[in-house]
Amino acid sequence: MLNVLGVRIHQKKRTIPFPQSEPVLPDRFRGRPQIESSRCSSGCHRCVDTCPTDAISFNSNKITIDLGRCLFCGECSAICPEQAIRYTTDYRLAVRRREELVMSSNELSLATALQEESRRLFGRSLKLREVSAAGCNACEADVNVLNTVVFDLGRFGIQFVASPRHADGILITGCVSRNMLLGLKKTYEAIPDPKIVIAVGACAISGGPFIDHPEIHNGAGAILPVDLYVPGCPPHPMTILDGLLRLLGNIR
């Protein structure tokens, strides 16, 4: 026991101070893209052609990026000779409505809080059941990281539970394959009302790289009413945490 206490004293506090202070992310982190359509004078459309999920479109001399489809691979930025698309280190990406993920400017309508009654119910204690609906385990891993001492999700009253009957909502990762459809629906139905639905990652939002494949359903929104969309492939744990806290009204 004394050895354990000695190690704890040596390690000191490891939990990040977020949201009291901004996190420090590496320069290589790809967050919210910055669009400068005015730079795209040549109209080469290389970014459109290189995007693996057709997340980029070019209409009326304006670049549009669907963050719900975007894999944040950075190929569009790398291939653009004019640097009309650049990825910043802004981790704040979560929104409440699917259409708000479609960017044609550098403004993004970040997630707003739940209604007052829902905040009263979930604001201090939110239990979530996670469902990997045919995910690759990347989004699942970054969700699990939130339970470590660095992020300490429990300090915000948010916890993951084993049974949907003990949950207030469902957090979905993966592209919702045909084989997972029934399991996802049953899990949702087992959660008592009122409940919330959170879609994490490009697959859960739009199908990701598997968009329009006959064995998937192009994300959770086609099956369930989604209350929070967290884009990314996978989204950084800070992006997920920021979205959850905004949903509960802890960040405005």
Specify the pLDDT at position 169. 97
Q: Flag whether pLDDT at 12 surpasses 80.
A: no
pLDDT digits (tens, 9 = 90+) for 14-69: 799 999 999 989 999 999 999 988 887 666 788 899 999 999 998 878 899 999 99
Domains of the chain: 116-247 (3.40.50.12280)
Q: How many CA atoms lie within 13 A of 205 on its CB side?
A: 32
Specify the pLDDT at position 223. 94
- Give the mean pLDDT of 153-166: 95
C-beta neighbour count of 154 within 10 angstroms: 11
- Give the mean pLDDT of 147-173: 95
Summary mean pLDDT of the chain: 92
SS3 at position 147: coil
What pTM was computed for the model? 0.93
CB-based contact 249:113 (threshold 8 Å): yes
Q: Flag whether pLDDT at 11 surpasses 70.
A: no
109 contact partners, CB below 8 Å, separation of at least 6: 95, 96, 97, 100
Share of the chain above pLDDT 90, in %: 80
Specify the pLDDT at position 42. 64
pLDDT digits (tens, 9 = 90+) for 89-108: 999 999 999 999 999 888 89
Specify the pLDDT at position 31. 95
Q: Flag whether pLDDT at 130 surpasses 80.
A: yes
DSSP code string of 227-241 = SEEE-SSSPPHHHHH
Nearest in space to 211 (alpha carbons), one of 32, 55, 45, 57: 55
User: What Rg do the C-alpha atoms of the chain give, in angstroms?
Assistant: 19
Specify the pLDDT at position 45. 83
236 contact partners, CB below 8 Å, separation of at least 6: 25, 29, 31, 91, 142
* Lowest mean per-residue pLDDT among 102-111, 124-133, 188-197: 102-111
Beta strands in 18-153 (DSSP E): 33-35, 56-59, 62-66, 85-87, 102-103, 126-132
68 contact partners, CB below 8 Å, separation of at least 6: 55, 98, 101, 102, 202, 205, 206, 219, 229, 231
- Give the mean pLDDT of 78-82: 88
Share of the chain above pLDDT 70, in %: 97
Specify the pLDDT at position 7. 67
CB-based contact 173:201 (threshold 8 Å): yes
What span, in angstroms and rounded, lies between the C-alpha atoms of 62 and 21? 35
pLDDT digits (tens, 9 = 90+) for 195-230: 999 999 999 999 999 999 999 999 899 999 999 999
Residue matched to tokens 């919702």: 176
Specify the pLDDT at position 139. 97
Specify the pLDDT at position 32. 95
